[in-house]
Amino acid sequence: MTNLRALHFYATPEHDCSYLTGKTAKTLFVDPQAEIDQATYSRLSDLGFRRSGKHIYRPHCDGCNACISVRVPVRHFKFRKSQQRILNKNRDLTVSKTTPAFSDEYYALYSRYINERHQDGDMYPPSLEQFNSFLVEGEEHTYFMEFRDPEGRLLAVSVVDMLEQGMSAIYTFYDPSLSKRSLGTYCILWQLQYCEEHQLPYLYLGYWVKACRKMSYKTAFSPFELLIDGDWMLVKPR
């Protein structure tokens, strides 16, 4: 495992915050030239770092700690009745694990998802370069999880990284016309089931920002842990 103290980190200049209107942000990046093995990446994940394409980063804002890393301890997680119903709605789907790659099929689904669900986000409008740099250019232990219906139609893709202590949910895109299936929620529930079946202790869901409505869904997967002042704190439902 690479010695974390030997790694070099670089902070960006201030830029507009992607989550809070009117706020600025800074980002801390691991040296993109460093060779990061799975053990080191796993350790960085426990310190609140995420991956986007070839870049491993975490927020580094002056005077703001709104972005909080969240993970689900799989052994504590219990499916609610509403979540069980979502699982039942999607029992007909098959899931395949593949290596990251570009395909017209993937990109068509991705484009529809961005165009219909995220017109107000940083990823709009979608582009081939963006798709490849963000999702295809991953790590050795990155996978695409394909979700298909009985006719073989691609309904969703979850991009995940395998860590030594769990799985990191990088991104999911899905058919925006199938709202009754609740595919976004289903893909996370499926990942939790996968972690349980493969004895992976944690599912990492990225950052949670209390004031950001788009991130509120993450707290539905409780109990969860938040990284507060360097320690993971268990938050149980009231």
Question: Per-residue pLDDT tens for 104-122?
Answer: 999 999 999 999 998 777 8
Nearest CA to 71 among 45, 41, 37, 44?
Answer: 45
94: CATH: 3.40.630.30
238 domain-assigned: no
Residue 14: what are its φ and ψ, rounded to 5°? -65, 145
Write down the pLDDT at residue 6.
87
Tokens standing for 183?
């595919």
Give the predicted TM-score (pTM) of the model: 0.95
Q: What is the DSSP string of 41-57?
A: HHHHHHTT-EEETTEEE
- C-alpha atoms less than 13 angstroms from C-alpha of 124 in its C-beta half-sphere: 11
List CB contacts of 61: < 8 A, sequence separation 6 or more.
Answer: 17, 24, 25, 26, 67
Distance CA 13, CA 176 (A): 35
* 148: β partners: 94, 154
> By the 8 A CB rule, do 204 and 166 touch?
yes
Q: Is residue 78 a part of any domain in this protein?
A: yes
Q: Which pLDDT belongs to residue 102? A: 97
Pull the structure tokens for residue 217: 């869904």
In a domain, 85, yes or no: yes
User: Residue 236 in contact with residue 223, Cβ under 8 Å?
Assistant: yes
Whether 63 is covered by a domain: the verdict is no
Assess if residue 69 is contained within a domain.
Answer: no
Q: Which stretches of the chain drop beneath a pLDDT of 70?
A: 1, 238
Q: Specify if 197 maps to a domain.
A: yes
Domain residues for 85?
Answer: 74-203
- The distance in angstroms from the start CA to the end CA of the chain is 40
C-alpha torsion sign, points 89, 106, 141, 214: negative
- Residue 128 located in a structural domain: yes
The per-residue pLDDT for 238 is 64
pLDDT tens digits for range 192-232 = 999 999 999 999 999 999 999 889 899 999 999 999 999 99
Residue 26 within any structural domain of the chain: no
The SS3 call for residue 158 is strand
Q: What domain count does the chain have?
A: 1
Looking at residue 118, its pLDDT comes to 87
Buried b (16+ CB within 10 A) or exposed e, 135-146: bbebbebbbbbb
